[in-house]
Amino acid sequence: MENIIFNELKVRGFNVDVGVVVINETDKNGKKIRKQLEIDFVCNKGNRRYYIQSAFAVSDFAKMQQEQRSLINTGDGFKKLIITKDALSPMYNENGVLVMNVFDFLLNPDYIDM
């Protein structure tokens, strides 16, 4: 599915990169840990930027948390999306992340600007 999304973004004229977000956490023993979280696609076109995660299925709350963790930690206000095969219709979750079905993404280019 990632190849399809990547190709569609290129056709739409976006410059597409992979992103990395660095976070600092503390483990259960109190030791500081530095983690790098990957963002599947960082898409730029003019003054527009989108952060996109691709997931085949987001079946439960834990999976949603995992997919949006890197998006939430970007530290900026650019648009954040999760594209999945099992979403019913485009909607914003409680963290302001747009979750949409891959078919809506492919067939309706304007949906990412909802």
Domains of the chain: total: 1
Spatial distance between the Cα atoms of 92 and 41, rounded to a whole number of angstroms? 19
- In this structure, are residues 46 and 18 in contact, taking their beta carbons and an 8 Å threshold? no
Per-residue pLDDT 10s for the chain (114 aa) are 899 999 999 999 999 999 999 999 888 888 999 999 999 999 999 999 999 999 999 988 999 999 999 999 998 999 999 999 987 888 999 999 999 999 999 998 888 876
- In this structure, are residues 17 and 42 in contact, taking their beta carbons and an 8 Å threshold? yes
Helices (H), the chain: 2-11, 61-72, 102-107
pLDDT at 12: 94
87 lies in which domain range?
2-23+32-113
**CATH number for the domain that contains residue 104:** 3.40.1350.10
- In this structure, are residues 104 and 89 in contact, taking their beta carbons and an 8 Å threshold? yes
pLDDT tens for each residue of 31-45: 999 999 999 999 999
pLDDT at 114: 67
Spatial distance between the Cα atoms of 109 and 22, rounded to a whole number of angstroms? 30
Query: Structure pTM?
Result: 0.88
Phi, psi at residue 50, to the nearest 5°?
A: -130, 140
